[in-house]
Amino acid sequence: MLEFPTSAGTHDCVVVRPEGRLTMAVAPALRATFSNLVADGKSRLVVDMTDVDSIDSAALGALVSGLKAARGAGGDLRIVAPSMQVLTVLELTNLRRVLPPYPSTGDAYRPHD
């Protein structure tokens, strides 16, 4: 099964770094990555989309699934640095309100000033 690189981020979060095209072919692996992280007690998730070229509805479903799992465990899922294509898809599906983009991984869980 496809695996996505993960690393420890600031503010006690885990950063997931997918790349390329996020399509129905990789959506199950992305969903499993989020599920496994939350099962391991890591519910503050950041998806760094710097290297993501495009996203389809199946991959959006995986993001929403990860968001629900993280929130169910007391955390959240936040996306950073999405491309214009990804932003457009988020706008068209009205998911930008649910998954607002952040400029960097450090900003995703920055305490409010």
Q: What CATH number should be reported for the domain holding residue 36? A: 3.30.750.24
**Phi-psi label, residue 11: left if phi above 0, alpha if psi -120 to 50, beta otherwise:** left
What's the rounded Cα separation, in Å, for the pair 87 and 73?
Answer: 27
Quick check: is 35 in a domain? Answer: yes
pLDDT at residue 45 in the model: 97
Quick check: is 46 in a domain? Answer: yes
Tell me: the pLDDT tens digits for 80-108?
999 999 999 999 999 999 999 999 998 98
pLDDT at residue 1 in the model: 59
What's the rounded Cα separation, in Å, for the pair 69 and 18?
Answer: 18
- Cα 44 to its chain centre, rounded Å, is 10
Quick check: is 73 in a domain? Answer: yes
Quick check: is 110 in a domain? Answer: no
Please provide residue 52's backbone torsions phi and psi, each rounded to the nearest 5 degrees: -95, 125
Q: How many domains does the chain have?
A: 1
Please give the residue range of the domain that contains residue 64: 6-104
pLDDT at residue 113 in the model: 39
The residues near 53 (Cβ < 8 Å, ≥ 6 apart) are 20, 21, 83, 85
Quick check: is 113 in a domain? Answer: no
Quick check: is 24 in a domain? Answer: yes
Tell me: the pLDDT tens digits for 47-60?
999 999 999 999 99
